[in-house]
């Protein structure tokens, strides 16, 4: 049994009618009997085959030859005029006419609904049914159209689903697949939007390499291939890390301070305050170095 579609029904109907019009014709048995009696009567009239009051009819062989030629011409006509492509085209035109009529009726129903919004109250089930009703030519790639599809054919047309179980099972599989793909697409869109927000937030921290108009065409592929390495080299590494540059400099400073403190400690007590002037003072105690360094840092911070 063909699926309950307009094209399938109309194609079956047109094929049946074309088969009836393409059948070979043949003289009826009554006509052949009457023709044979007429021929026998002519032959019985005289020995030359001429009847007394009747004209001479065609022979049986001539009749068969004429019928054969007629059937051959009829078969050629049916093959040219009633081709399967033509039948399919006519069925599609009929389906298009049905869809156009349904669309006009749907538009008229929507207008009636809009006109009656201020009048009689509408049941909640009717509102939900109108909201989920799909229009002719609906785009099934949108989430709204996919969400409005019933999960099974039996929920919408129980009798048709029972009459066509393979089509009903196929519809359920397609509806479930569409729902799953729609959910995955929604999750992918949310992830893309989240990543774009993160990229926009991190954009100020990324370097902007200079744009060279002269070597743009020649080095386009090289820039694409080396973009990741260039960005990694241009981004400043975190200096305050274990075994980093700051830690190595602090280790050098600690060793230098230890050496200076050791040498200062070996000086005689009377000569500890003598020597070259330090920071504008003739007699500056070594113990005031911390306060002096702290003052330098404070002055530097005051500049900002």
What predicted TM-score, i.e. pTM, was given to this entire model?
Answer: 0.34
Question: What is the Cα–Cα distance from 96 to 304, expressed in whole angstroms?
Answer: 78
Q: Which of 13, 26, 160, 154 is nearest to 87 (CA)?
A: 13
Q: Would you give the DSSP letter of residue 151?
A: S
**Among 72, 54, 55, 60, residue whose Cα is nearest residue 27:** 60
> Confidence class of residue 242 from pLDDT cuts 50, 70 and 90?
confident
pLDDT 10s digits, 161-204 = 888 888 889 989 999 999 999 999 999 999 999 999 988 888 87
CA distance 203 to 221: 23
* pLDDT tens, residue by residue, 105-157: 666 555 554 554 444 444 555 545 544 556 666 777 888 888 888 888 888 77
Which of 20-29, 44-53, 127-136, 215-224 is least confident? Answer: 44-53
Tell me, what's the pLDDT at 212?
A: 52
């Amino acid at each position: 049994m063909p699926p309950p579609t307009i094209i399938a029904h109309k194609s079956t109907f047109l094929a049946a009618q074309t088969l009836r019009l393409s059948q070979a014709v043949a003289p009826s048995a009554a006509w052949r009997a009457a023709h044979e009696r007429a021929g026998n009567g002519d032959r019985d009239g005289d020995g030359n085959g001429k009847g007394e009051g009747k004209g001479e009819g065609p022979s049986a062989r001539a009749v068969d030859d004429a019928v054969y030629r007629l059937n051959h011409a009829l078969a050629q006509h049916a093959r040219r005029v009633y081709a399967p492509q033509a039948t399919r085209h006519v069925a599609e035109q009929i389906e298009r006419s049905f869809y156009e009529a349904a669309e006009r009726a749907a538009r008229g129903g929507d207008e009636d609904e809009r006109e009656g919004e201020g009048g009689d109250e509408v049941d909640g089930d009717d509102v939900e049914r109108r909201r989920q009703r799909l229009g002719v030519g609906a785009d099934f790639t949108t989430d709204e159209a996919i969400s409005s599809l019933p999960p099974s054919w039996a929920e919408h047309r129980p009798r048709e689903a029972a009459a066509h179980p393979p089509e009903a099972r196929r519809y359920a599989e397609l509806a479930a697949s569409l729902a799953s793909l729609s959910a995955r697409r929604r999750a992918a869109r949310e992830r893309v939007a989240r990543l774009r927000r993160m990229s926009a937030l991190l954009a100020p921290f990324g370097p902007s390499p200079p744009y060279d108009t002269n070597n743009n065409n020649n080095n386009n592929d090289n820039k694409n291939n080396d973009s990741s390495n260039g960005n990694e080299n241009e981004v400043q590494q975190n200096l305050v890390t274990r075994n980093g540059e700051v830690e190595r400099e602090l280790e050098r400073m600690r060793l230098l301070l230890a050496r200076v403190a050791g040498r200062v400690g070996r000086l005689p007590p009377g000569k500890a305050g003598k020597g070259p002037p330090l920071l504008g003072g003739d007699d500056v105690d070594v113990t005031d170095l911390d306060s002096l360094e702290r003052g330098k840092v404070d002055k530097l911070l005051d500049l900002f």
